Amino acid sequence: MAGKSTEKDGGERIAKVIARAGLASRRMAEAWITAGRVAVNGTVITSPALNVTARDRITVDGLALPRRARTRLFRYHKPRGLVTTHADPQGRPTIFAKLPKSLPRLISVGRLDLNSEGLLLLTNDGGLARVLELPSTGWLRRYRVRALGRVTQDALDRLRTGTTVGGIRYGPIEATLDREQGANIWLTVALREGKNREVRKVLESLGLKVNRLIRVSYGPFELGDLDDGDVAEVETSDLRAAVGPELAAQAHADFVSPLEGEALPRQGREREAREPQRMTGKAGTVALRGPRKAPQDDGERLARGRKKHRRRDRSGGPRPKYPRPGP
């Protein structure tokens, strides 16, 4: 089974094993070890430079690690005004404080900054998170961007070979000028690297000031019709197919263990849910499973038997469509 250590491969770093158990991030697990809160086979350790196997008994604060649960992934529509962290020194609201308490402990795949919104992937598996956020994995991140100013398509095309801003080298960026809206323009931007505030800094170097940034896809996963604060779990079969055997092995992902502490109701594998089942949490409604809807077309929501309604963004302009990623 994927994710289990063997004596042949020398085991895994202990902080990684603790993180996979869902107790903490790898960094936090290392801090616990340094603080003397972790013991292996009855002996307290103070250095994370230790490999362990399935035969070793690990305890944290005297309690044995819980049995590892199945690797899970969730799509989350991050609203603006939340930081992507479990605790913020400045006391700002965090995404994890807004998630329903019934969900398992989750960590994010990469980050979206305070004023960015859109698709954020969440997982209970630290190994999977690290693999999916690596530039070498090559997953395309696609954004819809509103910016103040003007730019030509020729200037945007030059970003395809990479650019250097403030002494930092950024990889290739695909950017398309979609339309003008008053003093603003709308762009579609795609990249595979995702350095800190990369989109904002690169566009600023072209004389543009980003005032709205929406991530609409991350690899094969799309924001779709998730509203602000909504979270939806990716089915295990879909996740396994999207990750593929090579990345799954690299992440030591586990797609067969039981769903321990499962928060979402299961309807049985013999039938597919035809209608979304929902639960309510602090962040609003949580879409569990159900058919995906097609992306909205430039803010127009079409409902059967209802009139067209035009949804406007926070600045008063029409809501842009969320384009599907290219092949």
What residues form DSSP beta bridges with 141? 191, 218
CA 121 to chain centre: 2
Taking each helix axis from N to C end, the angle separating 126-133 and 236-251, rounded to the nearest 10 degrees, works out to 80
Q: Which residue in the list 9, 56, 88, 113 is annotated as catalytic?
A: 113
Q: What is the DSSP letter of 94?
A: B
Contact 185, 151 (CB under 8 A): yes
Candidates 238, 220, 166, 228; CA nearest to 198 is 166
Tell me, what amino acid is at 302? Answer: L
Q: End-to-end distance of the chain based on CA atoms, in angstroms?
A: 31
Tell me, what amino acid is at 252? Answer: H
Could you give the CA distance from residue 61 to residue 59 in angstroms, rounded to a whole number? 6
Neighbours of 322 (CB within 10 A): 23
Known active-site residue 230: no
Give me the residue label for tokens 């109701």: 265
**How big is the chain by its Cα radius of gyration, in Å?**
22
Residues with catalytic roles: 113
